[in-house]
């Protein structure tokens, strides 16, 4: 039996109905393995929490940045609610140790899959907060853990995708446009893995991997940003 008081203290919310916080961390795989579990998985709560998160962030941006064009606001919102950001918040509040996972899922160290599970659990948690205590409590959570990141996102242009950020910096500092080259392809046609190199002129800056060329390029750009300390 998991005990949620430490998590409640961390997020600053004590649930009136503990089933909401508990269900928020139940992954579908756990229910497949434990069909008699007293609660369902978290996907319906996630569906609700996604909508609550979007309206809270959208309202905040709309009211606080009245002169910012819609396209920029869309990019800013995406940087606050994407799975990478949500999984970081999950780590910040220590959510992973509360997850109900199947034995196989618990052992799986695929960081990308775990990132999505954590991100979905954060959305489900927001849905649970909304059902338990209403929109103001959900706003309090989103403000504390998501909107507090906005200044850093704007000052470091983290709302731009990694390829755009790397290109902007390389043109600004080195007066050079980066280019990408496929270095290696492996695996069968339906499950290929690509390794891509990111170059400035002839210099290889970083390598990235992915299941598509685009994914590998984004990975290479992220690694390039870290390497160049941009």
Q: What is the pTM assigned to this prediction?
A: 0.75
The reported pLDDT for the residue numbered 77 is 94
Examine the residue annotation and report whether 72 is marked as an active-site residue of this protein: no
Quote the CA–CA distance of 74 and 55 in Å, as a whole number: 12
Hey, what CATH topology would domain 5-155 get? Ribonuclease iii, N-terminal Endonuclease Domain; Chain A (1.10.1520)
100-105, long-range: CB < 8 A, 24+ apart: 100/2, 100/25, 100/26, 100/27, 100/30, 100/37, 101/27, 101/29, 101/30, 102/27, 102/29, 102/30, 102/32, 102/33, 103/33, 104/29, 105/27, 105/29, 105/30
Among the CATH numbers 3.30.450.20, 3.40.190.290, 3.60.150.10, 3.30.160.20, which is that of 162-228? 3.30.160.20
Do 76 and 155 touch, CB atoms closer than 8 A? no
Examine the residue annotation and report whether 132 is marked as an active-site residue of this protein: no
What secondary structure does DSSP assign to 163-183, as a single string?
Answer: HHHHHHHHHHHHS---EEEEE
The reported pLDDT for the residue numbered 156 is 80
Annotated catalytic residue: which of 50, 132, 219, 222? Answer: 50
Q: Is 191 annotated as a binding residue?
A: no
| Segments making up each domain of the chain, as ranges | 5-155, 162-228
The reported pLDDT for the residue numbered 10 is 95
Per-residue pLDDT in tens (0 to 9) along the chain, 230 residues: 678 999 999 999 999 999 999 999 999 999 999 999 999 999 999 999 999 999 999 999 999 999 999 988 998 998 899 998 999 999 999 999 999 999 888 887 667 789 999 999 999 999 999 999 999 999 999 999 999 999 999 988 888 788 887 988 898 898 899 999 999 999 888 888 999 999 999 999 999 999 899 889 999 998 999 998 88
Interaxial angle between packed helices 135-145 and 111-133, expressed in degrees from 0 to 180 and rounded to the nearest 10: 140
Annotated catalytic residue: which of 105, 123, 132, 222? Answer: 123
Q: Is 46 annotated as a binding residue?
A: yes
The reported pLDDT for the residue numbered 1 is 60
Q: Is 123 annotated as a binding residue?
A: yes
């Amino acid at each position: 039996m998991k005990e949620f008081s430490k998590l409640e203290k961390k997020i600053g919310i004590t649930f009136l109905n503990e089933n909401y916080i508990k269900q928020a961390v139940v992954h579908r795989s756990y229910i497949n393995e434990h069909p008699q579990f007293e609660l369902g998985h978290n996907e319906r709560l996630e569906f609700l929490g996604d909508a609550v998160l979007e309206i809270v962030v959208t309202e905040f941006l709309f009211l606080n940045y009245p002169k910012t064009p819609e396209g920029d606001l869309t990019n800013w919102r995406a940087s606050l609610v994407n799975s990478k950001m949500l999984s970081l918040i999950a780590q910040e509040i220590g959510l992973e140790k509360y997850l109900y996972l199947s034995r196989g899922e618990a052992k799986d160290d695929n960081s990308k899959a775990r990132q999505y599970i954590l991100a979905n659990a954060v959305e489900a948690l927001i849905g649970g907060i909304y059902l338990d205590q209403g929109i103001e409590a959900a706003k309090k959570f989103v403000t504390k853990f998501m909107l507090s990141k906005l200044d850093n996102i704007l000052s470091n242009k983290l709302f731009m995708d990694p390829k755009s950020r790397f290109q902007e910096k390389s043109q600004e500092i080195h007066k050079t446009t980066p280019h990408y080259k496929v270095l290696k392809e492996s695996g069968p046609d339906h499950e290929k893995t690509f390794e891509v190199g990111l170059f400035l002129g002839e210099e290889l800056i970083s390598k990235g991997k992915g299941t598509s060329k685009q994914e590998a390029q984004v990975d290479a750009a992220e690694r390039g940003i870290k390497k160049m300390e941009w």
